[in-house]
Amino acid sequence: MTPRNTRTNPVSGQVRWSPVKSIWYGTHLLVALGSLPFVRGWEIAFLSAVLTVITLCCGHTVGLHRLLIHRSFATPEWLKRILVWLGTLVGMGGPLSMIYLHEIRDWAQRHRVCHSFFIHREWIGRDWWWNLHCRIDLDHPPVFTIEREVAVAPFYRWLERTWMWQQLPLAALLYAGGGLAWVAWGISGRIALSLTGHWLIGWFAHNLGIRTWHLRGHAVQGFNLPGFGLLTMGESWHNNHHAYPDSARLGHGWRQIDPGWWFVRMLMVLGLADQVQTPENLPARREREWLKG
């Protein structure tokens, strides 16, 4: 993100309803809830849980967040594409859109003041509505530029155009294996839970919890949420992430459970990941302060 002109700022703007977001989220939520009376057996819950873990851990937190967005480690291109595709299956958006949403939020948060849309400072009901049903249009936005190797890659451009339709091959497999109930919770239930959970952990991680680090001059601080590392694939260590955004390891030390880091470590052991960045080998940041005690 770079300033467009001297008026570029992250404060002035309007939050507007996005019908596409509402229809996407609302449809999957209604399908999941409406199918509950017809769900029988433990296998549906198990299937939904396994798919959720794979797409969130391998896809979202590792493939999209730590690899594509932060480039905190390197993998062969074929593996990178698989991980990004799994991240797209989470149902939040295509890879280029996810980079934009992440970058403009981080750009806004690095200012002393920014619009509350970017920092989860509204009461929880309004924040839910804003994040899952709306978008923000800044009056004076920055210029957004994606690195060329990603922006022009045919695979990522194709995923961006078809991200909603990427559910169809998986839905066909689920229908063949277990009928509509498997589709309802292997697709809609999983997407509704993932989107709601992603927003909810973001709200808590910017309002409550524990801080080890302080970032001077930032509009908001991240918080660590002990006890939620396993459930969030390591994303609950958000204060650590604010302090070391380009680290592949979000949990610092063995007590801070980070399944995303476990997966990266497995890739390293298999010889499929290198150039791994951690707090130990990242450069110092002038604005970062350690909060003693």
pLDDT in tens, 114-152: 999 999 999 999 999 999 999 999 999 999 999 999 999
Cβ atoms of 182 and 40 closer than 8 Å:
no
On the CB side of 30, how many CA atoms lie within 13 Å of its CA? 6
Tell me how far apart the alpha carbons of residues 215 and 218 are, in angstroms, rounded to a whole number. Answer: 6
Q: What's the rounded mean pLDDT across residues 96-117?
A: 98
Q: Which pLDDT score, from 0 to 100, does residue 40 have?
A: 82
Q: What's the rounded mean pLDDT across residues 87-94?
A: 98
Tell me how far apart the alpha carbons of residues 125 and 131 are, in angstroms, rounded to a whole number. Answer: 10
Cβ atoms of 115 and 13 closer than 8 Å:
yes
Q: Which pLDDT score, from 0 to 100, does residue 136 have?
A: 98
Tens-digit pLDDT profile for residues 150-190: 999 999 999 999 999 999 999 999 999 999 999 999 999 99
Q: Which pLDDT score, from 0 to 100, does residue 293 have?
A: 55
Q: What's the rounded mean pLDDT across residues 251-258?
A: 96
pLDDT at 256 over 60: yes
Given the structure tokens 């680290």, which residue do they identify?
A: 247
Cβ atoms of 207 and 223 closer than 8 Å:
yes
Single-letter residue type at 130: W
Q: Which pLDDT score, from 0 to 100, does residue 181 have?
A: 93
The overall average pLDDT reported for the chain is 97
Tell me how far apart the alpha carbons of residues 277 and 266 are, in angstroms, rounded to a whole number. Answer: 15
Q: What's the rounded mean pLDDT across residues 75-101?
A: 98
Assessment of whether the complete model's pTM goes beyond 0.85: yes
pLDDT at 27 over 70: yes
Residues 6+ apart with CB under 8 A from 49: none
Segment among 3-7, 201-205, 262-266 with least mean pLDDT: 3-7
pLDDT at 73 over 70: yes
Q: Going by DSSP bridges, is the β-strand pair 13-17/134-138 parallel, antiparallel, or unpaired? A: antiparallel
Split at pLDDT 50, 70, 90, the class of 39 is confident
Q: What's the rounded mean pLDDT across residues 40-59?
A: 95
Q: What's the rounded mean pLDDT across residues 218-237?
A: 98
Give which of 256, 208, 243, 194 is closest to 64, Cα–Cα.
194
CA dihedral 239, 242, 248, 252 (to 10 degrees): -30
Within the chain, how many helices (H) and strands (E) appear? 11, 4
Q: Which pLDDT score, from 0 to 100, does residue 38 have?
A: 85
Q: What's the rounded mean pLDDT across residues 266-287?
A: 97
Region for 124 from its dihedrals, namely left if φ exceeds 0, alpha if ψ lies in -120 to 50, beta otherwise = alpha
On the CB side of 203, how many CA atoms lie within 13 Å of its CA? 18
Handedness of CA 219, 225, 228, 230 (dihedral sign): positive
On the CB side of 6, how many CA atoms lie within 13 Å of its CA? 0
